[in-house]
Amino acid sequence: MKALVYGLAVAGEATVRAMQSRGIDVLAADDTSTPERLALAGDLGVDLEVAPDDTALERLLGAVDLVVPAPGVPEGHRLFAAATAREVDVVSEIELAYRWEQERPGGPRPMLAVTGTDGKTTTTLLAVEMLAAAGVRSVAAGNTEVPLVTALDLDLDAFVVECTSFRLAWTEQFRGESAAWLNLAPDHLNWHRSYATYGDAKNRIFANQRPSDAAIGFADDADVMRYLAAAPARHVTFAADGADYRVVDGVLTGPTGQLAPVSALSRRLPHDITNGLAASALVLEAGLASTDAVAAALGTFTGPPHRIELVGEIDGVEYYNDSKATTPHAAATAIAAFDHVVLIAGGRNKDLDLSPMVAQPHRIRAVVAIGDAADLIADLFAGVAPIHRASTMPDAVDVAGAAARSGDVVLLSPGCASYDWYSGYEARGDDFRRIVQALAAGIPPAPHEETATP
């Protein structure tokens, strides 16, 4: 067999290495060329075709049996029409890994799957912690630092797979014995052709399940529930109220009884509770953990960085890093968690309607608009709260601090991508945290090389 890996970043590199270790010949292509990618291709021993034209693409497809696109290759890329015309199979990294796992000597290990517009990483990590408390060795794989093709080679009992729409779109067999869909809101419309194809891609998380599997959906999300209604597996719901997994008299509760008091959670914001319910359903419905293990993990889990992460307090004002909120839906969730917010928002808009960010205007003390979308943010909040602008992150933190009062929250929840000022949301959040912690220590923050200059 010979395969074409299109896109040579993290997932692409892992896929090439995994294929080569299984004796598959690999060709590589990418729309962009950097010294690092060219060096990586050399290290992998593959020729890298850069920005192939139609003729070169036809030549590549004519030489392979399989195409594995990197997550960043958008749905409308000409690669897919060309592959379809040539009847070349297109699969994502998680689909490829799933197929290999089915052929594992001794049988496949269980896979749990998580998708949603927001909350995937937190819920995935929490499920891993619940499994660990139950003595089940697992890893957060897929849209994480560990691609699923890499995780297959680890000594594990199960996998918890964070599934983006990018990866789900190109699946044919991939299945989780237990699969949770957290929410659905417009996102990645610069990747998908439409909101409908985005939702349909997410729906692949349910499509291949069996009647004995568990399809878990958020009862408060009408779109998720519409897809759940057609899922072939057992239907399970979660929400703060009116669902199979819910809160009863201040206690997280499942179909078999109590799980843990809300007061036992290390953080108890509304989405922390629903994420906890979703993760509980994921592991319990799969039969991989006990309620005791679930309760233990709920009591110790602190959550990942960059998602409403408290990074410091200055003069009675708490500063939260929510850089992972790259959609207006995620930012709106963060805003709803606090009573008085000075919001730092903006970045590079992903062709999304930003209006959900202003759904609760009574919570907004002031807004600091940053990045390419600063004008959009300023227009959105005009008449709602005082608007300030900042051209660097240090400026944004200074302006936000000046606008805040004791007891307020300064919240970096951009609602936009970070690629105008930074290499990713992690770099943006790290910079924000660094600045806040320096100011809290009375040290002027040093300039950061990724931050835009005026």
Decide if 445 is inside a domain: no
The domain spanning residue 180 has which CATH number?
Answer: 3.40.1190.10
| pLDDT digit string, tens, across residues 29-78 | 999 989 999 999 999 999 899 999 999 999 999 999 999 999 989 999 99
Decide if 452 is inside a domain: no
Residues 278 and 224 in one domain: yes
What's the whole-model pTM score?
0.90
pLDDT at position 408 is 98
| pLDDT digit string, tens, across residues 176-194 | 999 999 999 988 877 788 9
Domain final residue, candidates 55, 90, 125: 90
- The structure tokens 């998602």 sit at 307
The domain spanning residue 44 has which CATH number?
Answer: 3.40.50.720
pLDDT at position 187 is 84
Q: Please give the tally of structural domains in the chain.
A: 3
Strands 178-181, 111-115: pairing kind? parallel
Decide if 38 is inside a domain: yes
Residues 235 and 320 in one domain: no
C-alpha 357/C-alpha 320 separation (Å) is 16
Residues 26 and 165 in one domain: no
Give the residue among 96, 227, 116 at the shortest CA–CA distance from 171: 96
Using CA atoms in the order 302, 306, 309, 311, what is the torsion angle rounded to 10 degrees?
120
The domain spanning residue 400 has which CATH number?
Answer: 3.90.190.20
C-alpha 433/C-alpha 441 separation (Å) is 12
Neighbours of 2 (CB within 10 A): 12
CA end-to-end span of the chain:
52
pLDDT band at 449 (very low <50, low <70, confident <90, very high): low
Give 341 or 191, the one with higher predicted confidence. Answer: 341
> Is pLDDT at 453 greater than 50 in this prediction?
no
Q: What is the DSSP letter of 444?
A: P
Residues 430 and 410 in one domain: yes
CA angle centred on 66, ends 63 and 67, rounded to 5°: 100
Strands (E), 51-189: 66-69, 89-90, 111-115, 140-142, 159-162, 178-181
pLDDT at position 454 is 35
Q: In this structure, what token pair is assigned to residue 283?
A: 């592991």
Residues 366 and 347 in one domain: yes
For the residues 73-89, what does the mean pLDDT come to?
95
SS3 at position 74: coil
C-alpha 184/C-alpha 265 separation (Å) is 25
Is the CA virtual torsion 356, 358, 359, 363 positive or negative? positive
- The structure tokens 């499942």 sit at 254
> Is pLDDT at 452 greater than 50 in this prediction?
no
396: enclosing H helix or E strand: helix 393-403
C-alpha 386/C-alpha 368 separation (Å) is 9
> Is pLDDT at 214 greater than 50 in this prediction?
yes
HSE-CB of 184 using CA atoms within 13 angstroms = 24
Residues 273 and 373 in one domain: no
> Is pLDDT at 134 greater than 60 in this prediction?
yes
* 346 to 17, 321, 359, 415: CA distances (angstroms): 37, 14, 16, 6
pLDDT at position 357 is 98
Burial of 304 (0-12, 13-18, 19+ CB in 10 A): middle
Residues 232 and 140 in one domain: yes
| pLDDT digit string, tens, across residues 285-325 | 999 999 999 999 999 998 889 999 999 999 999 999 999 99
Residues 412 and 275 in one domain: no
> Is pLDDT at 171 greater than 70 in this prediction?
yes
Residues linked to residue 246 through DSSP beta bridges, in sequence order: 253
Residues 284 and 361 in one domain: no
Decide if 417 is inside a domain: yes
C-alpha 392/C-alpha 372 separation (Å) is 12
Decide if 447 is inside a domain: no
Give the residue among 221, 190, 180 at the shortest CA–CA distance from 77: 190
Domain final residue, candidates 43, 73, 90: 90
Q: Which residues span the domain enclosing 25?
A: 2-90
**Cβ atoms of 147 and 82 closer than 8 Å:** no
pLDDT at position 450 is 58
Domain final residue, candidates 233, 265, 300: 300
Residues linked to residue 387 through DSSP beta bridges, in sequence order: 367
For the residues 250-267, what does the mean pLDDT come to?
96
> Is pLDDT at 346 greater than 50 in this prediction?
yes
Residues 314 and 290 in one domain: no
**Cβ atoms of 124 and 130 closer than 8 Å:** no
